[in-house]
Structure 1
Amino acid sequence: MRISTYEILLPLMDGDEEIKDRALLVNGLYGAYDVVAKGEAEKISAGDFGALPLALRERLLRRGHLTQKNQAEELSDVKMLGRLHRMVHGRAVAGLTIMPTYDCNFRCPYCYEQHRLKKGQAWLEHTMSQKMAEAVFDALKDYKKHGCIIKECTLYGGEPLLAKNTTIVRQILAHCRAMGLEINVITNGYDLEAHLDSLSEYGCDWLQISLDGVGDMNNRRRIHKDGLPTYDRIMQNIELALQRGIGILLRVNVGRENFSHLEALVKDLRARGLIEKEEERAAEEQKLREAKGEGKTRRGKFSYYFRSVTDDRHPENNVTGQMIMEELLRIGFSPEEAMEHQLQYISLADTLRSLFRKEALPAYSPAFCGAEQGMFVVDPFGTIYPCWNVVALDKVEVGFMDVETRQFMLNLAKAKWRTRTADLMTACQSCPYVFICRGGCACHAFREHGSYFREHCGESRETFNFIAPRIAGEVWMKSRENELSLSLAEPLSRLSVAQREKLQTSSSSKEISEIAKAANLL
């Protein structure tokens, strides 16, 4: 018997206060979260398993924290789960991002698409044709006929909502509605009013809009190409969109220059009534749900978050996610509020809260994002990229849109991106955070290692080690349940040797799916 290679020992927190007589055990492979007495955690860490009560020892073995398996056998579980996800989930899902144009009315100094400005004005201003858009959606229909799950379409750029793009944007939105796709847009919001009728008519779910501070601070960082002020117009458009029932996700890009201005922006959001109106909308939504079982309000949902940006040309201007968290705590956010408004923390906190409801087994996706799971980013010329962070870069495309045959013509690079997963990267395979970090961002890995197919740890450990003890503590304080989640170790233990062999070698998604369903892994 030994402690699992994938074990993480953490304190259990009540806000910022440690719960002194308890500790949190996390198994990053099996997704098991368990609370134990602090003295018991110390014995586990020291390998003194004989000193543990028998019932606890059996529980920790059943859950995967302690194991009879050697390291190679645990690694086999990592690879088997990764393969299962890739063969069943990964093959069935595709994400769609459409770029109507590379052109943009902003010249933000930290933009990672600066290289596109060197390709000439005619190239920059080219707008996707109606014929190209029709071909893209015809190709998607063919994918859906073959069982592929496509749920949403995101418009991206450049700036997708330039005033001159109203015709093609409207056509794309019409195609989305015809296919039943959710519509999302990433925009700077400056020309938003030109598109509000179309976005409202076709049911846009949300817009992501970026701001970097109040007034002149935003104008210096979110720079209009003609030198025009940007802040007030964007704020006006945000309110107009919310009144139309369109959700707004406000992203605040944070660097050294605006790091000390976060408090001023929050105060301005409150002074403009955006925070108060959102609180009123949320209360109305709750009443509607209680009365009708659904909560669609006339006003769109408003939320905001902070995100550290990476400026490769001026790394001295970069800040970390942890620095942003500390600043939010300093200006009066509670730990729970700070987690809800810091991008690196929001998704993980939501994932943990869902996991602790025990409605499903822990996720075992080895893929960090859509780039490794079939995402198509189609630019205005029909070139296909795996990720929106690499658009317009040479030799990174994974295919092109054949307008005549109305098919995605993909090259071998597309298949290679599907292998950029934590279960297949040597540095990740024996890491306790293997299904938590999942290899990190490929583009950050390229900056760090010169390859998209390496790992990027970033702040994953620090982020998880901050959030998990607090969310777990929040749940434990209410329930006093010591097994906070389900565990993958239990269904895996029910697999026979023959079933494991099939999961590791079969090329039939149907056969793999049937075995996994029988073991309650799906």
Structure 2
Amino acid sequence: MRLSKYNYKHRLSDDVLLIMNTLTGAVDLVEPKVARVLFNRSSDTSALNDLDPETRTLLKSRGYLTDMSEEQYVRESLETYYRSHPALQFTICPTYKCNLACPYCFQSDIHQDSPTLDLAQINEIFQAMDQMVHLKPEAAVQFELFGGEPFLARNQSQVEYILQQAIERSWPILSITNGTELGAYFPFLQKHSAHFRHMQITLDGPKEIHDQLRKYRNNSGSYDLICSNITFLLEHHIPVTVRINTGRENVRHLPEMFAGFERLQWTSSPDFSCQIAPINDNFNTGKVAGFQPESDLLKQLHLLFPDWEATRRRYKVSLGYFMEKKLRILRKAMFDTDDDHYYFDLSGCSASKRHNLVFGADGRLYPCVETVGFPDYSIGSYLQGLHLDEEKWQRWHRDIVVNDKCRHCNLAPLCGGGCVLKGSRDGELRDFESNCSDTRQYLKTYLDLHRDRLLESYCQ
């Protein structure tokens, strides 16, 4: 019997520590004596004899003490997960053009010079997709539209043709859109609403804030039109997630924004949800406007909404994927939340699973939507036949077993290795190192914010 390498501790007071095993999901409040034994990293485990047999048995049942090969368990769990979730996610970018000029957009350099797919190219894309499906007949297919802005009115005929092809294959449709020109597609969307699983549309604040951040190139705002279009989608039972790109300045406007959702009666719709998504610097430029650490965002949210869990329920709001993933065990223990979807997935981002293919408007294939339009990150092409560079694609297969840094990290099961793109130095990923962002500070901040609640539960 030995100490698990996935044990984590956080001191709540002189007399109480929170301990967590990030592999088993155990969370407990203990006295310092127990914590000292669990975090004694000497090769001698004789300190375990200082604990009574009942305590040792309990610690073993919770996973803090183990006699199994944890690395082998993680490897087998990942393999089981990949086998039990066979999937292909196809994304088409009809164009990289966009009608807005958002200051934080990572695609701003490629917007205006982008081509638009023609019908012949679209047919080649679907031939390539059909070829992939033939090779993986057991895989569930998920289909997505991305851009630029995929629903530009000028591209209506091509886009509706793309959507019709997906519908004929019975593929559920997702899309990421700024929502400004959906009006041109209302007849099509209304007729085929059952085929749309999810539409993500961004609002970055109440009207006066949003219109400063997500504006047209003539500086006019887009808020009113987007809200009207979201209302149409919800009325026709097309699920909508409102994405709120949060930077340092616009977080303080969330209470007003949420109140607006209620006035519009969105929160009463079963098809509505919203997500707080911190602005990312995935290319590690250090120049992204509004970028802030996730731990700073947590502090702002809990200052604005002291009962954050009640806020989540009332406004149907969640945090970004990785933020949710890293908190799933703590929230389940503290608030009895049902986060099994996150808990059993030890993998990282979708690109790391090698089932995600993005068909760019430039004829190239990409491993994730964050890389489209940047040829250095291309993993193949689809014009004149499917040409997939398996060696380049394989480099994106990064998880907590493959990544050396993750193999020795007690928090690895929480983040799954994080974003592959953030850990790369170039498109070849030859200098890859797992990017942990501020995960440790993020967890510490969360626990500090809930210190009183945890201590109160310990006293009970």
Once the two structures are TM-superposed, the CA of residue 315 in structure 1 deviates from its matched residue by 4.9
1:367 matched to 2:348? The reply is yes
Conserved in 2, the CA contact under 8 Å of 1:4 and 1:65? yes
Name the aligned partner's letter for residue 376 of structure 1.
L
Which residue of the partner structure matches residue 416 of structure 2?
A: 438
Point out the more displaced range, 350-359 or 387-396: 350-359
Give the conservation status (yes or no) of the 8 Å contact 2:9–2:35: no
- Partner residue in 2 for 1:328: 301
Q: Decide which of 254, 261, 277 is 1:307's aligned counterpart.
A: 277
Q: Distance in 2 between matches of 1:228 and 1:32?
A: 49
Deviates more, 1:243-252 or 1:142-151: 142-151
Query: Aligned pairs, how many?
Result: 437
Aligned to 2:94: 100
CA distance in structure 1 between the aligned counterparts of 2:411 and 2:170, rounded to whole angstroms = 36
1:266 Cα deviation after fit: 2.5
| Counterpart residue number, 2:167 | 177
Structure 1: stretches of 5+ with no match in the other structure: 12-17, 283-300, 481-522
SS of residue matched to 1:417: coil
Larger displacement relative to structure 2 (18-27 or 305-314): 18-27
Deviations 1:280-329 (A, max 9, x none): x35xxxxxxxxxxxxxxxxxx22222222136463573223232222222
| Aligned CA distance change for structure 1 residues 444 and 466 (closer, same or farther; 3 Å) | same
Instruction: Return the offset for 1:212.
Output: 1.6
1:313-462 paired onto structure 2 within 5 Å: 314-315=287-288, 317-337=290-310, 340-343=317-320, 344-347=322-325, 353=332, 363=344, 365-403=346-384, 405=385, 407=386, 409-418=388-397, 420-446=398-424, 451=429, 453-462=432-441
Percent identical among aligned pairs is 22
- RMSD value, Cα: 3.8
Kept after mapping to 1: 8 A contact 2:364/2:378: yes
Preserved contact between residue 103 and residue 289 of structure 2 (Cα < 8 Å): no
* Paired letter, 1:267: A
Residue aligned with 2:91, SS:
strand
Moved more, 371-380 or 459-468: 459-468
- Give deviations 1:1-43, integer Å, cap 9, x for gaps: 43212211347xxxxxx79997654323x32414354366435
Relative to the length of structure 2, the TM-score reads 0.81
The answer to whether the 8 A contact 2:241-2:274 is kept is yes
Q: CA contact under 8 A between 1:256 and 1:318: conserved in structure 2?
A: yes
User: Structure 2 CA distance, aligned partners of 1:357 and 1:106?
Assistant: 38
Rounded to whole Å, the distance in 2 between the matches of 1:314 and 1:458 is: 16
Report the CA distance between 1:80 and its aligned residue: 5.0
Task: Classify 1:10/1:387 alpha carbon distance in 2 versus 1 (closer, same or farther; 3 Å).
Answer: same
- 1:66-465 to 2 correspondence within 5 Å? 66-68=65-67, 73-82=69-78, 85=81, 88=83, 92-117=86-111, 121=112, 123-124=113-114, 126-145=115-134, 146-202=136-192, 203-270=195-262, 272-274=263-265, 277-279=266-268, 281-282=269-270, 301-310=271-280, 312=285, 314-315=287-288, 317-337=290-310, 340-343=317-320, 344-347=322-325, 353=332, 363=344, 365-403=346-384, 405=385, 407=386, 409-418=388-397, 420-446=398-424, 451=429, 453-464=432-443
The correspondence of residues 25-40 of structure 1 with structure 2, limited to 5 A, is 25-28=19-22, 30-35=23-28, 37-38=30-31
> Structure 1 length normalisation: TM-score?
0.73
C-alpha distance 432-400 of structure 1, shift in aligned 2 (>3 A)? same
Distance 1:238 1:358 in 2: 27
1:398 Cα offset (Å): 0.6
CA change 1:382–1:81 in 2 (3 A) is same
Post-superposition offset of 1:216: 3.1
